[in-house]
C-alpha cells in the first residue's frame, strides 16, 4: 500500500511495497565515556514522543528511538526542521491505514502528492552521534526489530525497492501483518518505528473522512506541525 513513488498506488496494489534488509547501527560504548557520549546515552534512555497537531485534533505517538534509531531520528529531524508543517494526509483507506509525509501534499490537489521525499543529500544525526546522509532523499533500511504493523503503529512507506524510505509514513488502523518485513507470505517490508499513545479517536476520525480518486480525502486533513518531546 504504502508506496512513496509515482503513480499513486491503489488499494489493489499493496504488495508492490517492499523494503530490503539492513542492520542498525550499534550503540558505541567503552570503558571511558566522554561527556558528549554520556549525553547521547542519556538521550537513548529517554522516551521520545511526536505530537501531530492536525486539523482534526492531536495524535501523540511514542517513537521507538532505542530500537530503530536510524528511522526514528530521520522522522524526528524532519519534524523539528518543519519539513512536515502544513502537509496533508494524501492517502486514507478506511480499515487499513492513513498515509502522510509527502512534501507535494502541501497542495492537496497536486497529482504529485505521494511521490516526494526529503532533499537528496540532506543529513541528520542519530542518538549515538552518527551522521546519516539521505542518499537520493532516502534512508537506510532498518529491518531489525520484529514489531508487527498493529493498530495505531507508525510505519515507513517505501517504493518497494531497497533503501527507498524517506519522509512518508503511514499509521495503521488495522493489524496489517502482511506488511511486516518478517512475514514471508508477501514481499512487503515496512518497519514499525512508533505507536499512538493518545488521540486514537482523532486517527479514527481521519480514517473515516470521505475520499476521492487515489484515496485522497475530499476535504484535506492537514498536519499543522509535529512537535517532538522527550520525557
- Is 96 annotated in the active site? yes
CA distance 150 to 99: 15
Q: Summarize pLDDT for 208-220 with one digit per residue, the tens.
A: 999 999 999 999 9
Instruction: Check whether 35 has a pLDDT greater than 50.
Output: no
Q: Cis ω on the peptide bond leading into residue 119 (within 30° of 0)?
A: no
- Is 52 annotated in the active site? no
Q: Catalytic residue among 14, 49, 96, 100, which? A: 96
Instruction: Check whether 18 has a pLDDT greater than 60.
Output: no
- Is 178 annotated in the active site? no
Question: Which of 42-56, 86-100, 151-165 is predicted with the least confidence, judged by mean pLDDT?
Answer: 42-56
Question: Which of 9-18, 45-54, 107-116, 173-182 is predicted with the least confidence, judged by mean pLDDT?
Answer: 9-18
Report the pLDDT averaged over residues 25-31.
28
Share of the chain above pLDDT 90, in %: 80
The pLDDT of residue 20: 31
- Is 112 annotated in the active site? no
Whether the pTM exceeds 0.85: the reply is: no
Q: Catalytic residue among 17, 190, 193, 203, which? A: 190
Going by pLDDT thresholds of 50, 70 and 90, the confidence category of residue 46 is: confident
Which of these, 6, 47, 42, lies nearest to 159 by C-alpha position? 6
- Is 179 annotated in the active site? yes
Share of the chain above pLDDT 70, in %: 81
Instruction: Check whether 227 has a pLDDT greater than 80.
Output: yes
- Is 63 annotated in the active site? no
DSSP string, 146-157: -----TTEEEE-
Contacts (Cβ under 8 Å, ≥6 apart) of 54: 202, 206, 221, 222, 223, 224
Distances (CA, A) of 10 to 20, 54, 111, 194, 226: 22, 24, 14, 25, 27
Q: What is the dihedral of CA 22, 27, 28, 31, to 10 degrees?
A: -150
- Is 190 annotated in the active site? yes
Amino acid at each position: 500500500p504504502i508506496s512513496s513513488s509515482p503513480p499513486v498506488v491503489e488499494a489493489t496494489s499493496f504488495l508492490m511495497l517492499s523494503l530490503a534488509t539492513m542492520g542498525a547501527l550499534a550503540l558505541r560504548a567503552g570503558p571511558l565515556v566522554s561527556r558528549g557520549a554520556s549525553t547521547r546515552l542519556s538521550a537513548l534512555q529517554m522516551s521520545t514522543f511526536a505530537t501531530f497537531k492536525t486539523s482534526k485534533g492531536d495524535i501523540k505517538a511514542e517513537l521507538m528511538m532505542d530500537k530503530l534509531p536510524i528511522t526514528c531520528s530521520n522522522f524526528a529531524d524532519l519534524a523539528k526542521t518543519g519539513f512536515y508543517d502544513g502537509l496533508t494526509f494524501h492517502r486514507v483507506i478506511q480499515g487499513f491505514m492513513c498515509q502522510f509525509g509527502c512534501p507535494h501534499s502541501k497542495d492537496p490537489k497536486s497529482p504529485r502528492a505521494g511521490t516526494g521525499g526529503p532533499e537528496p543529500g540532506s543529513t541528520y544525526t542519530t542518538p549515538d552521534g552518527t551522521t546519516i546522509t539521505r542518499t537520493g532523499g532516502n534512508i537506510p533500511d532498518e529491518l531489525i526489530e520484529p514489531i508487527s504493523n498493529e493498530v495505531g503503529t507508525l510505519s515507513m512507506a517505501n517504493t518497494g525497492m531497497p533503501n527507498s524510505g524517506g519522509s512518508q509514513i503511514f499509521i495503521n488502523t488495522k493489524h496489517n501483518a502482511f506488511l511486516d518485513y518478517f512475514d514471508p507470505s508477501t514481499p512487503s517490508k515496512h518497519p514499525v518505528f512508533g505507536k499512538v499513545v493518545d488521540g486514537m479517536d482523532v486517527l479514527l476520525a481521519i480514517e473515516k473522512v470521505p475520499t476521492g480518486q487515489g484515496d485522497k480525502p475530499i476535504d484535506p486533513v492537514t498536519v499543522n506541525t509535529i512537535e517532538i518531546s522527550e520525557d
